[in-house]
Amino acid sequence: MKTDINATSATTSWPGLIEAYKNWLPVTDNTPVITLQEGGTPLIPINSIGNRIGKKVKVYAKYDGLNPTGSFKDRGMTMAISKAKEEGCEAVICASTGNTSASAAAYARRAGMRAYVLIPDGYVAQGKLAQALVYGAEVLAIKGNFDRALNIVQEIASKYPVTLVNSVNPYRLQGQKTASFEIIETLGEAPDWLCIPMGNAGNISAYWMGFKEYYKSKKSKKLPQMMGFQASGSAPLVIGKVIDNPQTIATAIRIGNPVNREKALIAKKESNGAFLDVTDKEIIEAYKLLGKEEGIFCEPASAASVAGLLKRKNEIQNGATIVCVLTGNGLKDPDCAINNNDASFSSGLEPEIQTIAQRMGL
Ligand code: F0G
């Protein structure tokens, strides 16, 4: 448990995850640390979700949407870009459904490198595209999906002097595993369930690595069951085969051929976990609940973890501790928010007290 953190140290002393966990990461004193002080994200109780389950469970959101570029990708990117810099690389490339491209662009440019990002044309949320552009990436939108883009960047990185920073880059998962360390430090123990959305399945693999490392070092006495969730139209790990034309409102996880499939399956098996799909409707229900009952705005892909938890609530043991990973910030996808909410919105009103009071029901 972290103790004795006063307001000043809490706001000024978090150095970023490489500095915080350097003994657990493949870095040396010669590694130039490229950081935006990522990591150290809050673990927030989400009681309205817990109440829907009953059984005295405790449910928390690991809100990784509060990272510097608004997603968990920053955890991996600080490592991948620092190591690329150490190796003298001058340009990086990635395929992305949006968040990886935003993060790669931010960290690469901070390190003085070029960033090439391949995205599926028309299927990247506006906020993410805006970020990649503002961070100064070279954005290449292809007439094809993420899986095709990943094939292309893998081939390019094998032929040209550009470093691949998708999650096949082993440093990415090293950085991302630190989220498990933070969860154990905050709870004082590993949770019983870790609920997480899956796309390319790198993050679930990274979390599992982190949980195992702390367990082996006796920093926790148990390991969580890894519960991975995919969107129904885009659930290759659930149905056990590649999907050629994946579809879902959660564009971040619109992936039909996950590159980290084997690692994720090992995590499921070793942890006695499970993979399940959730429909777009279930994702949006969870997304709205988090917003209007908890004040947490995540992106639709992230809400898959909560949707999945609610769907499997009958299997949860009494008194269990559950962590849902909220991988990305809701501001990433404003179109989804505007089209999917239960708010009342009156526009074009006359700027008069009486009109406003009347609309307020006063
Ligand atoms: N949640 C969000 C918000 C994501 O952006 C992603 C992946 C995932 C979950 C799934 O993580 O791939 O490690 O299983 N986004 C990638 C991208 C593919 O390009 O930004 P995963």
Q: pLDDT tens digits, residue range 263-303?
A: 999 999 999 999 999 999 999 999 999 999 999 999 999 99
pLDDT at 13: 86
123 exposure class (CB count in 10 Å sphere: 0-12, 13-18, 19+): middle
Q: Does residue 220's CB lie within 6 angstroms of at least one atom of ligand 1?
A: no
For a mutational test of ligand 1's pocket, the pick from 196, 327, 336, i.e. the residue with the most ligand atoms closer than 8 A to its C-beta, is 327
Mean pLDDT, residues 198-202? 98
- Token reading at 38: 């990522």
Distance 250 CA to ligand 1 centre (A): 10
Q: Does residue 167's CB lie within 6 angstroms of at least one atom of ligand 1?
A: yes
- Token reading at 91: 């340009």
Distance 67 CA to ligand 1 centre (A): 14
- CA 362, CA 354: separation in Å to the nearest integer? 9
Nearest atom of ligand 1 to the alpha carbon of 96: 19
* Bridge partners of residue 231, in order along the sequence: 278
Q: What percent of the chain has pLDDT over 70?
A: 97
Q: Does residue 202's CB lie within 6 angstroms of at least one atom of ligand 1?
A: yes
Distance 272 CA to ligand 1 centre (A): 23
Element (H, E) at 358: helix 353-359
Res. 133 pLDDT band, cuts 50 70 90: very high
Nearest CA to 97 among 304, 297, 247?
247
11: pLDDT strictly greater than 70: no
Distance 274 CA to ligand 1 centre (A): 19
10: pLDDT strictly greater than 90: no
- Token reading at 46: 């989400």
171: pLDDT strictly greater than 80: yes
Kindly report the pTM of this predicted structure.
Answer: 0.96
- CA 335, CA 127: separation in Å to the nearest integer? 9
Mean pLDDT, residues 18-23? 98
108: pLDDT strictly greater than 80: yes
- CA 261, CA 270: separation in Å to the nearest integer? 14
Distance 9 CA to ligand 1 centre (A): 31
pLDDT at 5: 52
Nearest CA to 31 among 74, 84, 68?
84
Which residues fall within 8 angstroms of residue 360, CB to CB, at 6 or more apart?
Answer: none
pLDDT at 7: 58
Mean pLDDT, residues 124-130? 98
Q: Does residue 236's CB lie within 6 angstroms of at least one atom of ligand 1?
A: no
6: pLDDT strictly greater than 80: no
Q: Does residue 97's CB lie within 6 angstroms of at least one atom of ligand 1?
A: yes
DSSP three-state, residue 231: strand
Res. 73 pLDDT band, cuts 50 70 90: very high
Res. 9 pLDDT band, cuts 50 70 90: low
- Token reading at 25: 């990461």
Mean pLDDT, residues 98-123? 98
Mean pLDDT estimate for the chain: 96
Q: Does residue 201's CB lie within 6 angstroms of at least one atom of ligand 1?
A: yes
